[in-house]
Chain A
Amino acid sequence: MNDMIEAVRLVLAWDVLIAIMASAVYGLVVGSLPGLSATMATALLVPVTFYLSPIAAIATIITASAMAIFSGDIPGCLLRIPGTPASAAYTDEAYAMTRKGQAELALGAGLWFSAIGGIVGTISLVVMAPMLAEMALSFSTYEYFWLAFLGLMCATLVARSSPIKAIASMLLGLLFACIGMENPAGTPRFVFGVTNLLGGIEPIPALVGVFAVSEVMRAMVTAAPPKLPDRKFGSILKGQWGLTKKYQWQMWRGNIVGIIIGVLPGAGADMAAWVSYAMSKKWSKEPEKFGTGHVEGLVEAGASNNASLASGWVPALLFGIPGDTITAIAIGVLYMKGLNPGPTLFTERASSMYALYIIFVLANIIMIPLGIAMIRLASRILRAPRSSVMPVIILLCAVGAFATGANLFSVFLVGVFGCVGYVMERNGYPVAALVLGIVMGSMVEQNFITSLIKSDGNPLPFIERPVSAVLASLTLGALLWPAGVWVFNRMQRRRAAA
């Protein structure tokens, strides 16, 4: 109990509160700029943390990353440009809602369920950290291989186009993921002597290119869409409680999936959003509405990516293993501030741990008022004429891509992917599946090759180990299910004809 009081005292210090507020605003702004991801927001904070007290330092990282993941939904919803990879899964859906004049509902759902996801994720961190960490440690490369493979399967589930086109564009993404020398053999592939390609294709320039630049190109060749009725945004939180009740089951499923995926090192908020969106569609009572501006998937995926953010701290705090790129940076800060990860952090430094929990909850609560302000501000963009918005977007894309590595090559990549994305969309290939392939490709390959090296080329461990057996059957099920349905339908028809 004393620890708890001490923790409240730690958090209520003025420097911590200022740090939370400032980093909240900062996270919201960075996350909403296309090309500047939540990871980037966190990385840029590191030098600032040198000057802060330990609790304030951690508070900035927790707050900024939670805000950035949420505000990545804003440009995705208003302009069809995901601010962070975690929003890419449901960008099309949110944008469709905007076109239907339901922008406030879509953004409100993103905000409300992000906050709920973040809080539920924090509770899981408080209650089940040791148990979840144990689970994460039992995952070896075999299990990760299946998990990543299952993630790839989501491409077919999420897409509205034909599954064949979805798989084709996912495979193209896998091909892009082959570029560079960041592969298990450490051998350069498809680099054609270009030094800049050695590091491979980063997901951020690809994402910005296929979504944002291709959208601008489309706007240039098509007539302006019918102007949205010029009206004031309605209440942003109105109707969210109704949604919470209506989609309660989906929300909980999103939270739980997010927590599980977040805890597994290497699979972060991006994957959580994809898997949850795909699950939502798979088990929805009205899957045909997905992609046309239906809020159900947003509820589940929005909760999921923020839940994963909190649970990603579990392996980081207990074993110093980063759950995602954000916690990878956070671990460095923890060490620098003397809060060394490990079980002793939970026992000897319990007050600091409680302070951390309180910050998590606090960050997710202030996300709601600040998020509403941000949405109101951003919504003005819908009223601006298209001819003035589009050049600004191109500028932001270029700046965002350049900012990740101070390298002009990323800006060039954004342009290339813009063209690729434009051609693909024109022909009905979903660009989201391409991004999924690029994000997951190296994970699939890395874990497959590593597993085979460890087993001396023996494939049996992929199905022998209990957890991997379950994941393998899930994956094969997802793979064979459409084929099974097709055969079944054919037989039904034949019987009907006979």
Chain B
Amino acid sequence: MTDLSRRTLLGASAAAAVAAPLATPAMAQPRWPARPVQMLCPWAAGGGTDAVLRMSAILLEKELGQPFNVVNRTGGSGVVGHAAISQAAPDGYTLGMITAEICMLHWQGLTEITYRNYTPLGLMNNDAPGVTVNVNSPYRDVKALAEAIKASRPGQLKASGTGQGGIWHLALAGWLNAMGLKADHVRWVPSNGAAPAMQDLAAGGLDFTTCSIPEARAMLDANRARALAVMAPARVSAFPAIPTLKEAMGLDYNNGAWRGIAGPPGLPAPVAQAMEAALDKVFKSKDYQDFLLSRGFGAVYESAAGFARHLAAADISLGNSMKEAGLAK
């Protein structure tokens, strides 16, 4: 009996495989998702991207009625996981989260894959870089710090927040550029992530950091550090007291570590439409908003088309910052 049913099943799926190329897209997927969807995360379990993706996956399951299983496909500084999403079969059953690094890695010559190798579905979060100083620092506001930077010798002031060529390094480079200075006017001290940089800031080893405000949050709460500004178009809802660069020094520069959901290129239109509608609901849901607020993550959303525009713009601006900082190949 089991044998029989298995054979029928095999036959049916073989027939479907033959028919599929002829019948797409209208017939092959009468209703997506018909089975669980795999969501790839290019970064390790327990990190920020992992948290955002897992939260989205739980809520997507509520919306679409099938499990969304998060798989951490790590390695190669994010290249491996990003490549896996881009190269997955475009059947809608393997999607994933892509991060700002996808617009950086190819400029360094580390991968051939760019944002064009994806079907963007929705931008789910954007953490803006902050400008944070030690609580005993003489700079009371970002204007004073900017003046000090302009008056300093190249390389005299030191800043940190992540590794060489990481997103917060580019934020610094872009900010200095926007002030009319060279990208390496402030020396970048590479660190192993934001936490060691914040610790060194508190220990007095750095002049300022440009990591995101949620990453600096505990030191701010402990009154060891002071956030002067956030490089975002609008204040971050979890930190309403911190002014934007534009408010504080009249400089319209913003940047961020963003995360969005995407699939491989050539995703069937019904899948893309269903996902876009579901992501819109997920983002607006109270659960998701509460989650972002509790972690201090920036609540920024773009629909599929908006995410595509965002990717194109980010690719150019990050590429320019990398060239200015001498990081691009």
> Which A residues fall within an 8 A CB radius of B?
39-40, 42-44, 46-47, 50, 136-141, 180-182, 184-188, 195-199, 265-266, 315, 318-322, 325, 328-329, 331-332, 335-338, 340-344, 404-407, 409-410, 442, 446, 449-450, 453-454, 456
* Cα-based distance from A184 to B76 in the complex (angstroms): 16
With A321-B195, A340-B217 known as contacts, the answer to whether A46 contacts B76 (CB < 8 A) is no
15 pairs, CB–CB < 8 Å, chain A vs chain B: A42-B46, A43-B45, A50-B58, A137-B202, A181-B77, A182-B163, A198-B75, A265-B196, A318-B218, A335-B217, A335-B294, A341-B221, A343-B222, A453-B158, A456-B155
Of B2-10, B184-192, B263-271, B311-319, the one with at least 4 CB within 8 A of chain A: B184-192
Number of A-B contacts (CB under 8 A): 170
Assuming the contacts A47-B54, A319-B218, A453-B158, asked whether A198 and B77 have C-beta atoms less than 8 A apart, the reply is yes
Specify the chain A residue showing the minimal Cβ separation from B111.
A195
Counting chain A CB atoms within 10 Å of each CB, which of B202, B204, B296 scores highest? B202
Within 8 A of A (CB), among B44-83: 44-48, 50-51, 54-55, 58, 70-77, 79-80, 83
Tell me the nearest residue of chain B to A188, going by C-beta: B110
The distance in angstroms between the C-alpha atoms of A99 and B198, with both chains bound, is 48
Of all chain B residues, which has the CB nearest A410?
A: B75
- Bound Cα distance from A197 to B219, whole angstroms: 34
Contact pick for A336, options B44, B51, B217, CB 8 Å:
B51
Complex Cα distance, B111 from A433, in Å, reads 34
8 new A-B contacts, CB < 8 A, other than A141-B205, A340-B217, A454-B158, are A40-B45, A195-B79, A265-B195, A321-B196, A332-B48, A405-B73, A407-B80, A453-B158
Instruction: Name the 5 nearest CB pairs between A and B, nearest first.
Output: A320-B218, A186-B164, A342-B221, A43-B45, A329-B46
Q: Which residue of B lies closest to A185 (CB)?
A: B164
- Chain B residue numbers with a CB within 8 Å of A410 are 75
Q: Is the CB of B202 within 8 A of A454?
A: no
CA of A454 to CA of B203, assembled, Å: 13
Residue from B45, B190, B192, B294 in contact with A46 in the complex, judged by beta carbons closer than 8 Å: B45
Q: Which of A139, A404, A449 contacts B203 (CB 8 A)?
A: A139
Residues in A with CB closer than 8 Å to B164 are 184-187
Chain A, residue nearest B51 (CB): A332
CA distance A185 to B327 in the complex (A): 10
Check: B200 CB closer than 8 A to any chain A CB: yes
Query: Given the complex of chains A and B, what is the CA–CA distance between A82 and B214 in angstroms?
Result: 36
A46-B50, A265-B195, A335-B294 given as contacts; is B77 within 8 A of A182 (CB)?
yes
Q: Are A196 and B80 in contact (CB under 8 A)?
A: yes
B73 and A446 form a contact (CB under 8 A) = no
| Distance of A182 Cα from B199 Cα, bound (Å) | 20
Instruction: Out of A43, A266, A405, A456, name the residue touching B196 (CB < 8 Å).
Output: A266
The interface residues of chain B lying within 8 Å CB-to-CB of A196 are 75-76, 80
Let me know if B221 and A344 touch, CB within 8 A.
Answer: yes
B323 at the interface (CB under 8 A from A): no
A69, chain B: closest CB distance, angstroms: 17
Q: Which residue of B lies closest to A318 (CB)?
A: B222
Q: Quick one: closest A residue to B188, CB to CB?
A: A453
Q: Nearest chain A CB to B76's CB is how many angstroms away?
A: 4
| B221, A46: Cβ atoms closer than 8 Å | no
CA distance A186 to B110 in the complex (A): 11
B120 within 8 A of A: no
Shortest Cβ distance from residue B324 to the other chain A in the assembled complex, whole angstroms: 16
Across the interface, name the chain A residue whose C-beta is closest to B43.
Answer: A405
B122 in contact (CB, < 8 A): no
- Among B155, B200, B296, the most chain A Cβ lie within 10 Å of the Cβ of B200
